[in-house]
Amino acid sequence: MTIIMETKKTLYRDTDNKILGGVASGLAEFVNWDIVAMRFAFVLGWLTIPSFTLAYILAWIIIPNKYNPSNKFAVWKLILILFICSLPILSFVGMFVFIMIRTLFFPF
């Protein structure tokens, strides 16, 4: 009789094999990829997807460290994520206000 036990994997940032934040090395360990292949995929992502940098920064903030998985900064992480996500909306509102003021006070 063979008993197969399935272990539950948890996604952590691997700070031992990091270059920037350990996101790529932690994700490579989570999905059982080679670290070099995952880093190559991240470089391709940075070159082809404009919002990849924002996604990497958010992953760096959200994914806990492998050796210190405490969640004591959860409130500050949430505030930072909400601020970063609201930047496009704030820039759109600022652009709209600028256009309205320009149109009202400085017509062509």
pLDDT of residue 56: 83
Q: Check: CB of residue 81 under 8 Å from CB of residue 57.
A: no
pLDDT of residue 95: 80
pLDDT of residue 26: 86
With tokens 């149109």, the residue in question is: 103
pLDDT of residue 74: 57
Q: Check: CB of residue 25 under 8 Å from CB of residue 14.
A: yes
Q: What phi and psi, each to the nearest 5 degrees, are found at residue 51? A: -90, 10
Q: What phi and psi, each to the nearest 5 degrees, are found at residue 35? A: -65, -40
Q: Check: CB of residue 53 under 8 Å from CB of residue 6.
A: no
pLDDT of residue 73: 58
Give pTM, 2 decimals: 0.56
Q: Which residues of the chain have pLDDT under 70?
A: 1-6, 69-79, 81-82, 108
Residues 6+ apart with CB under 8 A from 81: 58, 61, 62
**Residue ranges per domain, the chain?**
10-70, 73-108
